[in-house]
């Protein structure tokens, strides 16, 4: 009986993959693939490792079970969308998940690495690998990274300790995860030379920043930015500015500005989270964007996104980039509309106000697909115009760019921020937009076209082409929001 039980256990046990830090045992899937949840790619960033660059984990020799769900990184509850992640969070959160398709053991398949969104202050990587996109012949990886102040805080004491730099630890976590992919993904059937990094919202911003970060070069071959750019149209912060913000945050947590690093690292997670949501961010109307300002720390990011793009200092990797027809509302609502336009469009503000119908005595130009004028302003400034600015920079450098606007919603609903994600990770049903097919084509070949799909033309300064994913299907369009966005060239 004992022998029989052992034999049955051997048959039903999940596959073991010997990653370079140690073996992991995943869950075998009915279709022949496997899923590995919670592979550690760095030491827990706790105690003396809080607010430091991630370190390789201590090696292990016996297979670690990578089957159950794992903790998210610490975050407050911002609503139902992140409640489970916030409740089930821990500082020990630097894990990645992998899902492989059937018969991947000896293959060299393209790899899709997903970086989750959530304002860089919330969200989780868990759950992404439940997608069956792998059945289209790709290996799927989802990564986690430190969030909020734990991932982005700068402070003079930390800078002195770390050679004159601090902050952007979250981006370093992602770099560590991408380095793990380069070292290990072949053992899971993936091709390290065909890695596409993709993300939505803050995840898309992080993807964009890796395209600008020198230390990220060579860690990926292609990129997808869904509703996010290097700066969301917001001015970046210098290291000094982020250090000053860090001092304000530390004061809000009950410590003096001059607290040594040991005291900073002894703060409870609860105090840090409470303080980051209490601190006022200079020059930001909406403090929820606190960790969406790119931080020019001199280590991960060496210059502003605008200067790096203008000078061609970025990874020349094929890019899919786009927005949703409606994303997020304008902070402050209609009362803030004219002031926002005057601040954001500068010398072009009068022309922009005229286009929006907001000049004195004008009639606001609402749109049945893009929403009322305040929604258009918010989405032009934060999403559409920055997307066009990035597209221009890449096309100017001769890099293949495919631009899109997603404008599909089931009957009775409206498109909104993150609407497109489900169509990427779930196979399309009849009448739904074929995003997954385009995305998989791009992951496989660096070009979204093939398989009888409507032609998606490359973006260029001449064509200004984009694909509109509309209610009636994909449609070739040109000059997305041209009259407005020619007035604003900020990524």
Which CATH number is 350's domain given?
Answer: 3.40.50.1820
In tens, the pLDDT along 90-146 reads 999 999 999 999 876 668 999 999 999 999 999 999 999 999 999 999 999 999 999
Q: Give pLDDT, residue 232.
A: 98
Considering only CA atoms, which of 473, 476, 399 is closest in space to residue 437? Answer: 473
**Phi and psi angles of residue 286, each rounded to the nearest 5 degrees, phi first:** -110, 105
Two tokens, residue 349:
């503000």
Q: Give pLDDT, residue 289.
A: 96
The answer to whether position 318 is within a domain reads yes
Q: Give pLDDT, residue 428.
A: 83
142 catalytically annotated: no
Q: Give pLDDT, residue 105.
A: 63
Residue 196's H or E segment, with its range, is strand 190-200
**Burial label, 7 (beta-carbon count in 10 A; 0-12, 13-18, 19+):** exposed
Residue 150's H or E segment, with its range, is helix 148-152
**E runs forming strands in 240-359:** 295-296, 319-324
In tens, the pLDDT along 34-69 reads 999 999 999 999 999 999 999 999 999 999 999 999
- Whole-angstrom distance, CA of residue 418 vs CA of residue 311: 31
Residue 12's H or E segment, with its range, is helix 2-12
Catalytic residue among 166, 201, 391, 419: 201
DSSP helix, strand, coil percent of the chain (3-state; round to 5): 35, 15, 45
The answer to whether position 270 is within a domain reads no
The answer to whether position 83 is within a domain reads yes
The answer to whether position 268 is within a domain reads no
Residues in the chain with pLDDT values less than 70: 1-12, 104-106
Question: How many helical (H) and strand (E) elements, i.e. helices and strands, does the chain have?
Answer: 17, 16
Considering only CA atoms, which of 193, 77, 69 is closest in space to residue 128? Answer: 69
- Whole-angstrom distance, CA of residue 474 vs CA of residue 470: 6
The answer to whether position 169 is within a domain reads yes
Number of domains in the chain: 1
The answer to whether position 104 is within a domain reads yes
Q: Give pLDDT, residue 283.
A: 86
Please state the pTM of the whole predicted model: 0.96
Question: Structural domain of residue 328, as residue ranges?
Answer: 15-233+304-485
The answer to whether position 256 is within a domain reads no
The answer to whether position 356 is within a domain reads yes
Q: Give pLDDT, residue 104.
A: 64
């Amino acid at each position: 009986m004992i022998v029989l039980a052992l034999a049955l256990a051997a048959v039903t046990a999940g596959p073991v993959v010997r990653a370079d830090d140690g073996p992991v045992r995943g869950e075998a899937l009915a279709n022949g693939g496997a899923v590995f949840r919670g592979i550690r790619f760095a030491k827990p960033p706790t105690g003396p490792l809080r607010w430091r660059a991630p370190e390789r984990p201590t090696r292990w020799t016996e297979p670690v079970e990578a089957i159950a769900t794992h903790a998210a990184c610490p975050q407050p509850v911002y609503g139902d969308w992140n409640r489970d992640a916030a409740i089930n969070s821990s500082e020990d959160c630097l894990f990645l998940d992998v899902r492989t398709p059937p018969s991947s053991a000896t293959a060299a398949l393209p790899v899709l690495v997903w970086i989750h969104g959530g304002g860089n202050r919330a969200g989780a990587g868990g759950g992404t690998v439940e997608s069956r996109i792998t059945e289209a012949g790709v290996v799927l990886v989802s990564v986690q990274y430190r969030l909020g102040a734990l991932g982005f805080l700068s402070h003079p004491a930390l800078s002195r300790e770390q050679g004159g730099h601090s902050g952007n630890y979250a981006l370093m976590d992602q770099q560590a995860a991408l380095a793990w992919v380069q070292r290990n993904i072949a053992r899971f059937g993936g091709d390290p030379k065909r890695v596409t990094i993709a993300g939505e919202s803050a995840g898309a911003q992080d993807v964009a920043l890796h395209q600008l970060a020198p230390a990220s070069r060579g860690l990926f071959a292609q990129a997808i930015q869904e509703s996010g750019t290097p700066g969301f149209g917001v001015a970046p912060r210098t290291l000094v500015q982020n250090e000053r913000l860090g001092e304000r945050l530390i004061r809000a947590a009950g410590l003096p500005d001059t607290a040594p690093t040991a005291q900073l690292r002894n703060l409870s997670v609860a105090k840090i989270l409470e303080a980051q949501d209490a601190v006022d961010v200079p020059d930001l109307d909406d403090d929820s964007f606190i960790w969406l300002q790119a931080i020019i720390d001199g280590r991960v990011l060496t210059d502003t996104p605008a200067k790096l793009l203008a000078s061609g200092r970025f990874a020349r990797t094929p890019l899919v980039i786009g927005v949703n027809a409606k994303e997020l509302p304008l902070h402050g609502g209609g009362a803030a509309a004219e002031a926002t336009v005057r601040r954001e469009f500068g010398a072009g503000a009068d022309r922009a106000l005229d286009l929006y119908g907001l000049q004195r005595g004008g009639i606001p130009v609402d749109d049945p697909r893009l929403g009322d004028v305040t929604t258009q302003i918010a989405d032009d400034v934060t999403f559409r115009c920055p997307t066009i600015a990035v597209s221009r920079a890449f096309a100017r450098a001769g890099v293949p760019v495919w631009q899109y606007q997603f404008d599909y919603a089931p009957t009775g609903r409206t498109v909104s921020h993150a609407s497109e994600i489900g169509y990427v990770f779930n196979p399309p049903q009849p009448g739904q937009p074929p995003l997954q097919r385009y995305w998989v084509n791009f992951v496989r070949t660096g070009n979204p076209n093939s398989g009888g799909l409507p032609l998606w033309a490359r973006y260029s300064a001449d064509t200004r082409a984009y694909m509109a994913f509309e209610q009636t299907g994909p449609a070739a369009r040109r000059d997305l929001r041209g009259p407005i966005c020619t007035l604003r060239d900020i990524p």
